[in-house]
Amino acid sequence: MGTSKTAPKRRQRGEIETLPSGSLRVKIYAGIDPISDRRHYLTETIPAGPNAADEAEKVRIRLINEVNERRNPRTKATVNQLMDRYLELIDVDPNTRQGYERSIRNHIRPLIGGLQVGKLDGETLDSFYAVLRTCRAHCGGRRYIQHRTERPHKCDHRCGPHKCVGLSASSIRQIHWCLSGALKRAVRWRWLSVNPLEQTEPPKAPAPKPTPPTASQAAAIVNEAFRDLVWGVIIWLLMVTGVRRGELCALRWGQLNLDEAVLTISTSVSQDGAKIRVKDTKTHQQRRIALDTVTVMLLRLYLKLCEALAAEMAQKIAPEGYLFSASLDHSTPLKPDSVSQRYVRMCKKLGWDMNIHELRHYSATELIAAGVDPRTVAGRLGHGGGGTTTLRVYTAWVSESDQRAVKDIPSRMPTPPIAFESEGAAVSTLTPEPPNSPYLKIAADLQGAISCGALKVGDALPTLVEITQQYGVASSTASRAIQELKNLGLVAATRGRRTTVTSSRTAPPSATIVDLQSRRKQL
């Protein structure tokens, strides 16, 4: 007689170990960490308690399922490591990279940089954004003296108790998109299986609030700028064309055709500290801007001045020289920051706190006010989207356009039923109600019953059903009659109760419903 063999017991996947504190730790193998090239484990600790063993078994099964379905994080890399790798691989404009590096250095690394990427979730990110909205210094409610600089210095009025000031909505959105780009790559690199940003709500976009100079301010700015012809032409060109400051600095003489009155925009100057470089435009598109007669005349005058200045120093303007330059041969472009700073100083001298980008707002606003269609304005400014951005962001409220709109409104609106006499008195032009209208007769009968005492204060009026049956009218007619009595203050009704008499002396003794109805027609 043979002996039966039992199948070997299958080894349990994962470990549940008891810690010195009595808690249980679940540990599941999850492959090789692509960052450290070491074995990667998923772990979770269960607090000690009577049901700890059952909870640990549930966690073990859950973690095994995550590994089987590839929903688990494949690495223990931190957010700092992700950001390092992200900055190493992204291909963006240097200015954009500077903004990302600033956001990562000042906010992402200090607050969540040490967290494992796999442990980020919606609650963590929502809390992160809440801290940024509360205080840009991440003070956490601490009280301390905020100095104007970290270097040794003598304190003055700029040093004092810290006051919490949150980041602007646009700054928080920039941080959000920086995180979004990094986490999307983490999913693509299989560091993560799910993007935690999908579990949170992105910060709201700030409402556009363009603040262009008013007509009087624009006139004062032009007058002040033309104390120096070169500076005046720069400001005039910015106001007329709406070009960006970097595009203005990148303009070359070859892009200006004064005979055809056309200016071609194809490049822009970018500045990183003292370094400048010529790059593509923001939208990576070339555009041609038509110039008006006054602008062409000013540019011709400016050209003669530049040629005269160069000739005095026995120099010539370079064939491909820059339109605006600090050098006599125009071989180098102006620095965008220098243009902005000079404009701020000029406006401060005039008593205003303005920046040069507001001239772009001014150009868009004036073109829209002049009746130019948004697509054309968008083309001049270099916007995409068929003019959507132009209308949403750059067009401010224009009082002249508003006044024109007011003049057009009466022709499109119905005529009100009111006539104004020569003395200014207003009279209704509505046709008076006929004296024998059913609802007026019902109201007059009820008023008579109240006046003679048949219906006293506190008595209930007949119901709508009783009135409709007695007079043979619709319920809406009966309701209108009772409403007339309410208008005179004779009756009152509350929800769910009968209409009752409240007064018998509101109307003059000799007045009838018909008399009062006709009086209300006179305004």
Residue-range definition of the domain harbouring residue 508: 438-519
Are 254 and 193 contained in the same domain? no
Phi/psi of residue 426, each to 5°? -110, 135
Please give the distance of CA 271 from its chain centroid, rounded to a whole number.
Answer: 27
CA atoms of 257 and 366, how far apart (whole Å) = 24
Question: How deeply is 212 buried, as exposed, middle or buried, from its count of CB atoms within 10 A (0-12, 13-18, 19+)?
Answer: buried
Pick from 87-96, 373-382, 413-422, 449-458: least confident: 413-422
Within a domain: 153: no
Supply the mean pLDDT for the chain.
81
Is there a domain that residue 59 lies in?
A: yes
The residue among 219 and 487 whose pLDDT is bigger is 219
What's the whole-model pTM score? Answer: 0.61
pLDDT greater than 80 at residue 32: no
Same structural domain, 246 and 374: yes
- Residue 5 placed within a domain: no
Secondary structure class of 99 (helix, strand, coil): helix
Tell me: do 110 and 182 sit in the same domain. Answer: yes
In a domain, 422, yes or no: no
User: Do 189 and 219 sit in the same domain of this protein?
Assistant: no
Q: Is residue 194 part of a domain?
A: yes
Q: Do 29 and 104 share a domain, yes or no?
A: no
Q: What is the CATH classification number for the domain harbouring 106?
A: 1.10.150.130
28 contacts 71 by C-beta, under 8 angstroms: no
Q: pLDDT digit string (tens) for 388-436?
A: 777 666 655 555 555 555 566 556 555 565 566 666 566 656 566 566 6
22 shares its domain with 45: yes
Q: Are residues 385 and 242 in the same domain?
A: yes
Domain count of the chain?
Answer: 4
**Within a domain: 84:** yes
- For residue 310, the Cα-to-chain-centroid distance in whole angstroms is 48
253, 371: one domain: yes
What residues pair up with 389 in beta bridges, in sequence order? none
In-domain check, residue 4: no
CATH of the domain at 306: 1.10.443.10
Regarding whether 362 and 260 lie in a shared domain, the answer is: yes
Kindly state whether residues 85 and 123 are assigned to the same domain: yes
94 occurs within a structural domain? yes
pLDDT single digits (tens) 179-195: 999 999 988 887 887 88
Higher pLDDT: 106 or 93? It is 106
Residues 20 and 121 in one domain: no
Please name the residues in contact with 64: beta carbons below 8 A apart, sequence gap of 6 or more.
Answer: 13, 14, 28
